[in-house]
Amino acid sequence: MKKALKIAGIGFGILVLLLIATAAWIQFTPMPTYEVKPPTVQLPVDSASLAKGRKVVELACTHCHLGEDGKMSGRLFSQATDPFGEMWTANITQHPTKGIGRYTDGELAYLLRTGINRDGRVVGPMMCHPNMSDEDLASIIAYLRSDSGIMQPSEATHPAPAYLSSFMVKALIKFGVFKPLPYDGKPISAPPATDQIAYGRYLATEFYECYGCHSASFETNNPMEPEKSPGFFAGGNPVPDEEFNTCISRNITPSKEHGIGSWTEEQFLSAVKGGIRPDGSMLQHQMPRFAVLDDEEVRAIWAYLQTVPPSENNPLRVEAK
């Protein structure tokens, strides 16, 4: 009996030592960094590409990066009470040291593919477009480098994200739960606009990322294979605005009861471009106004959404909880 107790005691002691060692490793060793492998980027100079870049930046970057000075100087993105703690989005104006002036085009492209910043730290995947065509990605970078007013240098600086000193988050990063998106550097192209359904899929899952807000949750989305995101296009994701007021996204699968299965294409067009529902009510501002989209783009997204399996999820039931 005594011997058994002794062995148990030693076992317990070893376990405690192991736990202390692991905790010390998590807390005191530096965050893992990743090698930055910038691809070669050919920036377009034609006005059509710049206009395209502007569309993505205005619809996919400004809601997070637009600061109080009206430039892309960054804003408070998550509050101290959030699981990740206080975090600011970065100053991505052209400032040479405080903004993206310090990035090369290749480093920006690598960040937008993988979420790895130029120091090798994982900051994504909020800004990642892993399957966007090389051409469209280059048009984003061209716009970031353009003479657009929102990109002009801002002096704004922000506190380092709280998660860098959070034990929990450090553990998740060190155990590889949060990791960068894979990128093998192979050329990526977009389907032609003439292939309407494939083009609509590209716009809805990659270019304008409709699926990101319209699937179950930002945390469970699968940027590499969007169709594998839980609740794909079935809504229910609480989408916050700048003041952290949330609005639950809607089911936009072809379900007749809970989705947009009984809508017409024209009704879809006015909802997406003008924010007006078929019953005349206005969509809340957490749904961006896609007024700058060409009708052809919205029609392609519509055609594609008809091919998404209908989901009987009622997102508003979640809201009523």
Residue numbers of the site for ligand HEC (CB under 6 A)? 60-61, 64-65, 77, 87, 89-90, 92, 100, 111, 117, 123, 126-127, 140, 161, 204, 208-210, 212-214, 239, 247, 249-250, 252, 260, 268, 271-272, 277, 283-284, 286-288, 290, 301
Nearest-Å Rg of the Cα atoms of the chain is 23
Is residue 46 packed enough to be buried (19+ CB in 10 Å), middle (13-18) or exposed (0-12)? exposed
Shortest distance in whole angstroms from residue 121 CB to ligand HEC: 7
**Distance of alpha carbon 321 from its chain centroid, rounded?**
26
Give Cα 279 distance to the centre of its chain: 31
Buried b (16+ CB within 10 A) or exposed e, 267-281: bbbbbbbebeeeeee
Q: What's the closest the beta carbon of residue 75 comes to ligand HEC, in angstroms?
A: 9
* Residue 73 C-beta: closest distance to ligand HEC, Å: 12
Compute the least distance from the CB of residue 246 to ligand HEC, in Å: 8
Which residues make beta-bridge pairs with 238? 248
Q: HEC string of 116-158?
A: ECCCCCECCCCCCCCCCCHHHHHHHHHHHCCCCHHHCCCCCCC
Q: Which is nearer to ligand HEC, 6 or 102 (CB)?
A: 102
Give the C-alpha separation, 63 to 44, whole Å.
Answer: 25
Rounded to whole angstroms, how far apart are CA atoms 205 and 229? Answer: 11
Closer residue to ligand HEC, CB minimum distance, 2 or 88: 88
Between residues 47 and 99, which has the closer beta carbon with respect to ligand HEC? Answer: 99
Q: Which is nearer to ligand HEC, 26 or 247 (CB)?
A: 247
Q: For residues 22 and 42, which CB has a smaller minimum distance to ligand HEC in the complex? A: 42
Which residues have CB under 8 Å from 172's CB, separation 6+?
178
Task: Indicate the residue among 23 and 126 with the shorter CB distance to ligand HEC.
Answer: 126
Q: Which amino acid is at 44?
A: P
Which CB atom, from 92 or from 138, has the smaller least distance to ligand HEC?
92
- Shortest spacing between CB 8 and ligand HEC, in angstroms: 44
Q: CA-to-CA distance for 222 and 38, rounded, in angstroms?
A: 23
Q: Which is nearer to ligand HEC, 92 or 190 (CB)?
A: 92
Surface-to-core class of residue 266, CB atoms within 10 Å of its CB (0-12 exposed, 13-18 middle, 19+ buried):
exposed
- Shortest distance in whole angstroms from residue 197 CB to ligand HEC: 14
The span from the CA of 64 to the CA of 91, in Å, is 11
Q: How many whole angstroms separate alpha carbon 107 and alpha carbon 112?
A: 9
Least distance (Å) from ligand HEC to the CB of residue 233?
Answer: 9
Q: How far is the CB of 2 from ligand HEC (least distance, A)?
A: 54
